[in-house]
C-alpha cells in the first residue's frame, strides 16, 4: 500500500484550493511508519471544532490519550503508535459551545455493521486480474449497453436470512447476468449507510462499500470477477444529499460544515436530509475524491449520479428558496461541481461512464463540459413516464393517447439517453411492471412483453430493475430476497426467455444500438394509426446499413394481413415475435413474408402481417442477416455463447 501524503502546509493548501482530487490520500486513517515506529496517521477536517481527539480500540475509546494537533486551514492530525489494522475508531469532536460528539471518519474505508457506527482501520492488499478489461472499456455510445439494476442485499439472501457475501454474489449474480445477456450491472445500496430502508441513498460512508456483505477486498473480488466474465459494474452514487444521523457528516464539527448553513438551501424537507455545500472547495474535493475512489481503487466502470435535478435547482421541491447571484433558480455552485466532476472523472478514469438521473429539460446534460454538464448519458425520464402512462391505459382508450409513444422521437437525439425502468417504478404502491398492465393475467403478460420489446428496439441504452426480467408480480421489497421460485414457473419463465432473447439480438445487431444518438437510426413507417393502436418503424445502422422493421399491435385485437411498408422487396425473416410460445404467447404464424411490390407507408414495398394481440414483431430482410444466415439461428448461437 502506498504511503499517505504528508499533512503539511502545501498539501493542505492543495485541498483547500481544490487542486487535490484524491483528498483521501491525505485525510482519514493511514497505517504508516513514523521515525521507525509503526502506527496509524489520522487526519480530519473540522475547522470550527474547539478540540478533537481520536478514540478507538487502541485506547479504550478514551478521549484524553490521543488528542489531535490543530493544523493549517482547519485540519487536525495525529499519529497513534498503538493503532493497527482492524481496530475500530472515531473522532471525538468538541464544538465551540462545549458539546462533544463521536463522529465516523468521513474518509473511512470500512465500518462496523449497522447499527454500530465506528470506522475501522483497514489496509489490506488485493491483486487485480482485469488489466485487459480496464484498458479496453469505454462509455460505448455506439456499443450495446444493457444494464441490470441490482440491490445486492435483496437480490438474494443466505438460507439463514442474512446478507450474502460479495464473493458469493460475484459468482451467483455474475453467472446469471451472463446467462441473461446483460452488458452491465448497476448497484444500489453499496456505499455504507445506516438504515436499510434508505436502499443506500442516505450515505454515511462515501469511501466504503457497506460491511453488510463483506470487506472492501470482498467487494473488489466481486468487481474483478464480473470483469472476468465481460460484465461492467456501475454504482449508484449520491452527491446530492446526506442523512441527519449524528454519527455521520451532519453538523460535523458542531455546526454546518459539509452542508449549506441556510436551511432554505441546505435541507431537503422531502427526504429529511442535508444538502452538500458545493461552494466549499473542501466539500467539492471530498465528493470528487469519493467518485475517484470507486472508479480508480475499486475499478468501477461508471457512476449513476442520483437526483441530479435536486442539485441543479435551488427551488427543487420547496416553496421558500434563495436565488443565485443573478436572481435565478439554478444552483450555480452545484452546476460547476458537476462539470468539474465529469472532467476529472473522465481524465483520471479513462473509459468510465457517468450517467445522470436528471428529470427536467435542463440543457446540455450530456454535452461535454464546459459548455454542458459533461455526462455520458442521461436517464430518459420523459420516455419512461410517457410509455408507462400509455401502457397503463385500458386498450380501449389507448387511441386517445397514441402519440405518447411517438413523442420521444421528437427529442431523442437531444441527449444521450438510457431507457430506464428502475427500482423507483416498482415501489410505493406503483405496482410491479407486469401488474401495471391492464386486463387478466394473460393480457398483462402479453402487454408487458410488448412493452419490453418496444423498449429494447427504441433508440437508447437499456436498464431494467431486478425481478422485472421474470415478471415479478409484486412490488420490490428491500427486506426480502427476490421470489426466485417464480423463474421456474412457465408464465414467468417465458418473460425471462424474452428478455434474454432481446439482449442477445440487441448485442449482436448493430441496427439496434449503433444509431441510438443519430436521427437516421430510426425511421417511422406508421405513427398515426390511432384507431388500431398500431406502430411501425425501422431501426437502422447508419454505418453498416443493416436494418430491421418493428411492428407493434397494442390492443387485444388480432389483425390479419395488416399492411406494413418496407424499404425494399424480397423475403423477410422474423427475428422476434413477443407472441411466440417460448415467451408465453399463442405462437401466431406468418404464412407469407415476401414483400409485395405495391408501395405503402411511403415505402416502395409492403408486407402483409398477422398481428397478434398486444404484441411486437421484428423482421429483417433475409439477405441482410449476418453472412446470409437465419436470424433465429444467429440469435440461438449468441444465446448459447452467453451461457
Q: Three cell numbers at 416?
A: 444521450
Are 580 and 587 a contacting pair, CB within 8 Å? yes
Are 115 and 194 a contacting pair, CB within 8 Å? yes
Are 295 and 348 a contacting pair, CB within 8 Å? yes
Sign of CA dihedral 216, 221, 227, 229: negative
Q: Which residue has the cell 473480488?
A: 221
Query: What are the b/e assignments for 515-542, b being 16+ CB within 10 Å?
Result: bbbbeebbbebbbeeeebbbbbbbbbbb
Q: Three cell numbers at 488?
A: 421456474
For residue 56, give the 3-state DSSP assignment.
strand
Rounded Cα distance between 94 and 28, Å, is: 18
Phi, psi of 579 (to 5 degrees): -90, 0
Q: Three cell numbers at 609?
A: 402481417
Q: Which DSSP state fits 229?
A: T
Cis upstream peptide for 337 (omega within 30°): no
Are 457 and 433 a contacting pair, CB within 8 Å? no
Exposed, middle or buried: residue 195 (CB in 10 Å: 0-12, 13-18, 19+)? middle
Query: Is 306 an active-site residue?
Result: yes
Strand partners, 167: none
For 531, the enclosing helix (H) or strand (E) is none
Are 550 and 607 a contacting pair, CB within 8 Å? no
Strand partners, 43: 28, 77
Q: Three cell numbers at 38?
A: 509503526
Calculate ∠ Cα 348-225-105, nearest 5°: 55
Rounded Cα distance between 553 and 613, Å, is: 6
For 530: left if phi > 0, alpha if psi spans -120 to 50, otherwise beta; the answer is alpha
Half-sphere exposure of 242 (CA within 13 A, CB side): 27
Query: Is 358 an active-site residue?
Result: no
Q: Which of 186, 236, 301, 306 is catalytic?
A: 306
Helices 490-508 + 166-180 axis angle, to 10: 80
Q: Which DSSP state fits 169?
A: H
Q: Three cell numbers at 403?
A: 402519440
C-alpha distance across the termini of the chain, in Å: 38
- In this structure, the number of other CB atoms found within 10 A of the CB of residue 294 comes to 27
Closest alpha carbon to 342 in 298, 377, 390: 377
Q: Which residue has the cell 449520479?
A: 305
Closest alpha carbon to 158 in 199, 203, 115, 214: 214
Strand partners, 576: 618
**Close Cβ partners of 563 (under 8 Å, ≥ 6 residues apart):** 600, 601, 606, 607, 608, 609
Closest alpha carbon to 205 in 319, 306, 294: 294
Q: Which of 218, 357, 425, 580 is catalytic?
A: 357
- In this structure, the number of other CB atoms found within 10 A of the CB of residue 366 comes to 22
Q: Which residues are catalytic?
A: 306, 357
Amino acid at each position: 500500500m502506498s504511503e499517505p501524503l504528508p499533512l503539511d502546509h502545501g498539501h493542505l493548501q492543495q485541498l483547500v484550493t481544490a487542486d487535490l482530487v484524491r483528498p483521501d490520500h491525505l485525510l482519514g486513517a493511514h497505517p504508516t511508519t513514523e521515525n521507525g515506529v509503526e502506527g496509524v496517521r489520522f487526519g480530519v477536517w473540522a475547522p470550527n471544532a474547539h478540540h478533537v481527539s481520536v478514540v478507538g480500540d487502541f485506547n479504550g475509546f478514551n478521549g484524553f490519550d490521543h488528542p489531535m494537533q490543530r493544523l493549517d486551514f482547519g485540519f487536525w492530525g495525529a499519529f497513534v503508535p498503538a493503532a493497527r489494522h482492524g481496530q475500530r475508531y472515531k473522532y471525538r469532536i468538541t464544538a465551540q459551545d462545549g458539546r462533544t460528539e463521536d463522529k465516523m471518519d468521513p474518509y473511512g474505508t470500512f465500518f462496523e455493521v449497522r447499527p454500530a457506527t465506528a470506522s475501522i482501520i483497514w489496509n489490506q492488499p488485493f491483486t487485480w486480474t482485469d488489466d485487459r478489461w480496464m484498458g479496453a472499456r469505454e462509455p460505448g455510445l455506439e456499443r450495446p449497453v444493457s444494464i441490470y439494476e441490482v440491490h445486492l442485499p435483496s437480490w438474494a439472501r443466505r438460507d439463514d436470512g442474512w446478507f450474502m457475501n460479495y464473493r458469493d454474489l460475484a459468482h451467483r449474480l455474475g453467472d446469471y447476468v451472463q446467462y441473461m445477456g446483460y452488458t452491465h450491472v448497476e448497484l444500489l445500496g453499496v456505499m455504507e449507510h445506516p438504515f436499510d430502508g434508505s436502499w443506500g441513498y442516505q450515505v454515511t460512508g462515501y469511501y466504503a462499500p457497506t460491511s453488510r456483505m463483506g470487506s472492501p477486498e470482498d467487494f473488489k473480488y466481486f468487481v474483478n470477477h464480473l470483469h472476468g466474465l465481460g460484465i461492467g459494474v456501475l454504482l449508484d452514487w449520491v452527491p446530492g444529499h446526506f442523512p441527519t444521523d449524528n454519527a455521520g457528516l451532519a453538523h460535523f464539527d458542531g455546526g454546518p460544515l459539509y452542508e449549506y448553513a441556510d436551511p432554505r438551501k441546505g435541507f431537503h424537507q422531502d427526504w429529511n436530509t442535508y444538502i452538500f455545500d458545493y461552494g466549499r472547495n473542501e466539500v467539492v474535493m471530498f465528493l470528487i475524491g469519493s467518485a475517484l475512489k470507486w472508479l480508480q481503487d475499486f475499478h468501477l466502470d461508471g457512476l449513476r449520479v442520483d437526483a441530479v435535478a435536486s442539485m441543479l435547482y435551488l427551488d427543487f421541491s420547496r416553496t421558500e428558496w434563495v436565488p443565485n447571484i443573478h436572481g435565478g433558480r439554478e444552483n450555480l455552485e452545484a452546476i460547476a461541481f458537476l462539470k468539474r466532476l465529469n472532467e476529472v472523472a473522465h481524465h483520471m478514469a479513462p473509459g468510465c461512464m457517468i450517467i445522470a438521473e436528471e428529470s427536467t429539460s435542463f440543457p446540455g446534460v450530456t454535452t461535454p463540459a464546459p459548455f454542458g454538464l459533461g455526462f455520458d448519458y442521461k436517464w430518459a425520464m420523459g420516455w419512461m413516464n410517457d410509455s408507462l402512462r400509455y401502457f397503463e391505459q385500458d386498450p380501449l382508450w389507448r387511441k386517445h393517447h397514441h402519440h405518447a409513444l411517438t413523442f420521444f422521437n421528437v427529442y431523442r437525439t437531444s441527449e444521450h439517453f438510457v431507457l430506464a425502468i428502475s427500482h423507483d417504478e416498482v415501489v410505493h404502491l406503483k405496482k410491479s411492471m407486469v401488474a401495471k398492465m391492464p386486463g387478466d393475467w394473460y393480457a398483462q403478460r402479453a402487454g408487458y412483453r410488448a412493452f419490453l420489446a418496444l423498449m429494447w428496439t427504441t433508440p437508447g441504452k437499456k436498464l431494467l430493475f431486478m425481478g422485472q426480467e421474470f415478471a415479478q408480480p409484486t412490488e420490490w421489497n428491500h427486506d426480502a430476497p427476490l421470489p426466485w421460485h417464480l423463474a421456474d414457473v412457465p408464465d414467468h419463465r417465458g418473460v425471462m426467455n424474452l428478455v434474454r432473447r432481446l439482449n442477445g439480438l440487441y448485442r449482436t445487431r448493430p441496427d439496434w444500438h449503433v444509431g441510438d444518438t443519430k436521427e437516421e437510426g430510426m425511421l417511422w413507417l406508421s405513427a398515426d394509426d390511432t384507431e388500431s393502436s398500431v406502430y411501425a418503424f425501422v431501426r437502422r445502422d447508419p454505418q453498416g446499413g443493416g436494418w430491421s422493421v418493428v411492428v407493434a399491435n397494442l390492443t387485444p385485437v388480432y389483425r390479419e394481413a395488416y399492411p406494413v411498408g418496407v424499404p425494399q422487396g424480397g423475403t423477410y425473416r422474423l427475428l422476434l415475435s413477443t407472441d411466440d410460445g417460448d415467451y408465453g404467447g399463442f405462437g401466431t404464424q406468418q404464412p407469407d413474408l415476401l414483400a409485395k411490390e405495391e408501395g405503402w407507408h411511403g415505402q416502395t414495398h409492403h408486407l402483409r402481417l398477422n398481428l397478434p394481440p398486444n404484441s411486437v414483431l421484428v423482421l429483417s430482410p433475409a439477405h441482410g442477416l449476418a453472412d446470409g444466415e437465419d436470424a433465429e439461428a444467429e440469435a440461438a448461437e449468441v444465446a448459447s455463447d452467453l451461457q
